[in-house]
Amino acid sequence: MLNLSKNGCSVRVAFSSEGLLTPTAVALGKFDGVHLGHQRVIQPVLHAGGHLSVASSPQSKENQLTNPEYTYSTVVTFDPHPQEFFTGQPRTLLTPLAEKVQQLRSLGVEQLVLLPFDKELSALTPEEFVEKILVQQLRCQQISIGQDFCFGEKRSGTAQDLQLLAAKYNIPVTIVPLQTYTGDSSTQTNCVSTTPTQDARISTSLIRQTLEQGDIESANLLLGRPYTLLGDVVQGQQLGRTIGFPTANLQLPKEKFLPRQGVYAVRVFTLDEASDTAPSDNLGVMNIGNRPTVNGTYSSAEVHLFDWSGDLYGKKLVVQLVKFLRPEQKFPSLEALKTQIQLDCVVAREVLSA
């Protein structure tokens, strides 16, 4: 059991049935990305659960104890990702655990339950899943799922099946229709564009596709927020400072999904670990790739902050990707690389000030 808090608010993260806050109002799904479609699925249980921003105060906790009708807003997902379990291959994620908790907390979710996706869980029939997991372990009072949700052995249970099975226990199930993109489809980038059409279904796979193409604007529209990289600043080769562009080398979770290699205009927040807040917002450029000009042999993520002086080692940064500027390339000399970075910074300043 983890209790990750911010400003007095917390999301309880449970890896087993021990220590769960029950009864629950459950949003059920994989939720990698916590994108706009996921947020619609989560919304019904927030109203039922009473919202974390209120429930986390001492007074409201007392109200919870004296209110037998109170249900805890709970997101239930799986660990590892089912696809990773069935294929045996590691799967990168749009939102590793720390980021997922951060996003759920901002929505007002009180509890995240990670069901261990193993042979035993995957073998449960739809009826057994409802009885053993939802009724007995989680004491569900309300459930919210997406229209395409499947569960049980061989994904044999549908959203409608869950609605019927839960009705036997007097548990209402909200089936949320699939969400479609309705934003400005005129957004373009200087790379191969995968800007979604007006009727494109919002999905994790579509967001991954747009990120692979470097179409950050579309990915951010589908997510409902900027795509972020969160990691600790560690010591790198310090080559950037030799050409006048010192960079912060970011150590990212190994399971983090990385977008197209290249240079990005970014906004950067430095997290104060003591309060877990983001007190400063900085602008800069980021390179994701192997640094071919200096014969790099491994992928790295390096950020150059404009108008910054100070030591970032050991600090935790949140980097918001705003626009893809250009693909990574090999330059004939460090001087040529320096000239290109200067141009990148000029373009990034224009993008970020727009």
Ordered by where they begin, the domains of the chain are 2-176 (3.40.50.620), 180-224 (no CATH), 226-353 (2.40.30.30)
Find out whether the peptide bond into 80 is cis, omega within 30 degrees of 0: yes
Distance (Å, whole) CA 343 – CA 260: 20
Torsion of CA 149, 152, 154, 155, to 10 degrees: -10
How much is the pLDDT for 59?
Answer: 34
| Burial class of residue 183, CB neighbours in 10 A (0-12, 13-18, 19+) | middle
| pLDDT tens-digit map of 250-296 | 999 999 999 999 999 999 988 764 445 544 678 999 999 976 555 55
Cβ contacts of 118 within 8 Å, gap of 6 or more? 85
How much is the pLDDT for 272?
Answer: 61
Amino acid identity at 288:
I
Count of C-beta atoms within a 10 Å radius of residue 203 = 20
pTM (2 decimals)?
0.83
How much is the pLDDT for 67?
Answer: 58
End-to-end Cα distance, the chain: 44
Strand 140-146 with 173-176, pairing = parallel
How much is the pLDDT for 68?
Answer: 58
How much is the pLDDT for 273?
Answer: 44
How much is the pLDDT for 17?
Answer: 66
- Which residues of the chain, if any, have pLDDT below 70? 1-10, 16-17, 47-68, 182-199, 236-244, 272-280, 291-298
Tokens encoding 127: 């009826």
